[in-house]
Structure 1
Amino acid sequence: MRGSVVLLTVFVVGLLGGCGETVDTAKQTFPRSTVPAGEGGDRTGATGTPKTNDPAFSNDKLRKLEPCGLLTDDILAAVGTPADSETEDFGDCSNYMKDKDGKDLSVTLYVGETINGAEGADENIGGLPALDSELDDGSACFVNAITSTNPNIGLRVQVGGEGDDLCGTGRTVLTGVVDLIREDPPTREEKTGSIASVDPCSLLDAAALKTAIGGAETEMAPYTLHWCNWIGETVAAGVWFRTGYDPKDDTVDPGQPVDLGNGLTVYQTAETDSGASCRLEWRHRSTGSDGDDEIIEVDFDNSSPPAGDNGCATAIEIAKLLVPALPKP
């Protein structure tokens, strides 16, 4: 599971851009940029001008995809010998396999990620603007295809191993994934009350959120299709839908139980070393599979809080706004 967001980073280092050249780091929010050319909606082949905002790759459609259904044996066999794919989150899937030389090869697909540095997309993968970046030591490559703009969202394949051309491997896999989404997209089985295909950005009323955070002006900034942030000058709020273990069973970093009302208990963790930062977590829906429950996380950060304020009262107010808008499990 990827680390939980620390929104105060936004205030400490500013809104940063980049190419995502770090493996499995904590989420951050980055500035919006636009793809300078090729924006539109017409489908073109990989030999034409790549286009973003193709209806086949709308955010709503991407949320409904089954990510491990996209890492098919046929696609992975083009770069080696596949193992069993493992679901990592609503939009993530990994396969720890062997390349054609029998060396270890890890392939992780992220569906609906923020694509940083998209203005430098100078490749064409399946008709989508694309770019890649490789770690300095050559141990991993990140291949990205931009599906929509403002903000830039897309598909990412992260490839790790000892092979000589990890970026080429990633491009081969991502090409297969893009083609499959166009031709026969595998969708997840929708369960009653699931948040898997819900847009977290759509659930909080802007005026009510502004009131809850003390009147501060914020800008909506989706990070992934399952994670939405609202960023202001000194405050930030976030809602993240993910999978994981029930927070009440956490023995490593247990949160303080808080009764939110109507029988809902959330688990609260606060940090005040630099400003105020509060995280609330709770299980929305049990899947019956260990470690794969549907989890909701609400974060609130304030870089200039009033004395004695840890941010949790505000986080609770945000959670109370969110709960009535959630699908009922």
Structure 2
Amino acid sequence: MLRFRATAVVAAAALLMAGCATGPGLAKTNSPRRTVQAGADASSTDPSVKPSAQPNKPVDPAFAAERLRLINPCALMEKDLLQTVGTPSKYSSSSYTRCSNYMKNKAGKTLNITLDIGYSLTSTEVKNATKQIAGLKSGEQKLSNTSCFVTAVTQENPPQAARIQVSTGNDGGEACEPGRKVLEGAVRKLKGNPQKYSPPKGSPVEVDPCTIVEKAALAPVLGASPRSLPYGLHQCSWSGQSSQLQLEFKTTRIPKDGKFDSKSVEVDLGGGVKGYQAFKDGSFPTCELVVVRTKDSSDAGEIAEFIAAGSKEKEFDRCQAAQTFAKAVLPSLPAA
């Protein structure tokens, strides 16, 4: 069984793990910020590509979202698997669905590996997935000889995948080959009975953010027919009328002063619940409201983040909208 030492951001993920422990904080990766502006479509960049698969149905029941939300991704690339490509180091995790190991290859050179499960793809990426890994459609994106993304498509509509990111540095050799090998092993473990999280009371890890929100909570800002857009397994956004609402569940360190952002101010959401909001101006003015759901003795925890945003021309009180949104959703989340 994997063991993890809870430090900094990693400790937040460790809250959920049975027999947990992990390594130092994550180095930077090339993944984009997950906030999507209204009108953007992370799941369909090519309008000519129409997924034929049944909506919200994985290619195999093993990849169902409700199952993936509880699987510890570090358990999918255990030591025995990583040893096939090199010498593993400590594991680290920055989210429910991501695990990294900054290790060495068999020649003792840099080999950094990050696994994401439930990763959102574009429909174009699914179209270009012309290879196969462990019986699944697979695609590769080679940014350079030292950096490679390898995906195995687990659902086509909306598109999701298990994805490996590999970087080898200038001395580590070709990056795609070890990525394929580790991803194949991870997918096979995913189909089996991998280690799952043991969520603390109040954890939102199992909640589908797209289905927990009622249309009535969206209508005041977005109108009667907002478009929903899932991203990964723990984020959903809704857009309409030049505006956007978003809900995401995250693991993070909980600051003692509540300052999740330098601009954070404390707000009363009723029933003894506090939130911490920050307004950010710009071309798409945004208010981000954070509500703590769980916290351990080392200040590692989980949050629900509510976002209200809109174009400059859209006049509404974004922070008031975020608070109203949060008040509508919070009663449906697991009680702490």
Quickly name the TM-score band, shorter chain normalised. Answer: 0.7 to 0.9
Which of 121, 139, 159 aligns to 1:131? It is 139
Q: Match for residue 55 of structure 1?
A: 61
Q: Match for residue 275 of structure 2?
A: 266
| Aligned mates of 2:164, 2:297 — CA distance in 1 | 29
Q: CA deviation at 1:154?
A: 1.6
The one-letter amino acid of 1:79's match is: V
Structure 2: 5+ residue stretches without partners:
1-8, 10-28
The reply on whether 1:312 has 2:319 as its aligned counterpart is yes
Which of 151, 157, 160 aligns to 1:153? It is 160
| Contact preservation (8 Å) 2:287, 2:322 | yes
Q: Match for residue 32 of structure 1?
A: 43
Cα RMSD for the two superposed structures: 2.4
Q: CA deviation at 1:167?
A: 1.1
The reply on whether 1:298 has 2:309 as its aligned counterpart is no
Provide Cα deviations, 1:237-281, integer angstroms capped at 9, x if missing partner.
111101112254437624111111111111111123224311101
The 5 A counterparts of 1:192-211 are 192-206=201-215, 208-211=216-219
| Contact preservation (8 Å) 1:92, 1:108 | yes
| Contact preservation (8 Å) 2:200, 2:294 | no
Q: Match for residue 47 of structure 1?
A: none
The reply on whether 1:255 has 2:261 as its aligned counterpart is no
The reply on whether 1:166 has 2:172 as its aligned counterpart is no
| Aligned mates of 1:231, 1:202 — CA distance in 2 | 15
Which of 115, 127, 131 aligns to 1:119? It is 127
Provide Cα deviations, 1:133-185, integer angstroms capped at 9, x if missing partner.
021x4332111111112210121111112332211111111100000011222
Q: Match for residue 45 of structure 1?
A: none
| Contact preservation (8 Å) 2:261, 2:278 | no
Structure 1: 5+ residue stretches without partners:
2-21, 41-50
The one-letter amino acid of 1:81's match is: T
| Contact preservation (8 Å) 1:272, 1:310 | no
Judged with a 3 Å threshold, the aligned counterparts in structure 2 of structure 1 residues 287 and 300 are, in CA distance, closer, same or farther, namely same
| Aligned mates of 1:235, 1:204 — CA distance in 2 | 17
| Aligned mates of 1:114, 1:245 — CA distance in 2 | 25
| Aligned mates of 1:95, 1:289 — CA distance in 2 | 23
| Aligned mates of 2:65, 2:114 — CA distance in 1 | 20
| Aligned mates of 1:236, 1:252 — CA distance in 2 | 21
| Aligned mates of 1:82, 1:318 — CA distance in 2 | 44
Indicate the SS of the match to 1:189: coil
The one-letter amino acid of 2:177's match is: G
| Contact preservation (8 Å) 1:121, 1:131 | yes
Indicate the SS of the match to 2:302: strand
Q: Match for residue 240 of structure 1?
A: 248
| Contact preservation (8 Å) 2:120, 2:160 | yes
The reply on whether 1:228 has 2:239 as its aligned counterpart is no
TM-score calculated relative to the size of structure 1: 0.83
The one-letter amino acid of 2:293's match is: H
| Aligned mates of 1:190, 1:251 — CA distance in 2 | 23
| Contact preservation (8 Å) 1:71, 1:85 | no
Indicate the SS of the match to 2:152: strand
The reply on whether 1:102 has 2:108 as its aligned counterpart is yes
| Aligned mates of 2:283, 2:168 — CA distance in 1 | 38
| Aligned mates of 1:197, 1:289 — CA distance in 2 | 23
Indicate the SS of the match to 1:213: helix
| Contact preservation (8 Å) 1:271, 1:310 | no
Indicate the SS of the match to 2:191: helix
TM-score calculated relative to the size of structure 2: 0.81
Provide Cα deviations, 1:83-141, integer angstroms capped at 9, x if missing partner.
12112211111111111111121111111110122111111111111111021x43321
Moved over 6 A (4+): none
Q: CA deviation at 1:214?
A: 5.2
The one-letter amino acid of 1:83's match is: S
| Contact preservation (8 Å) 1:144, 1:156 | yes
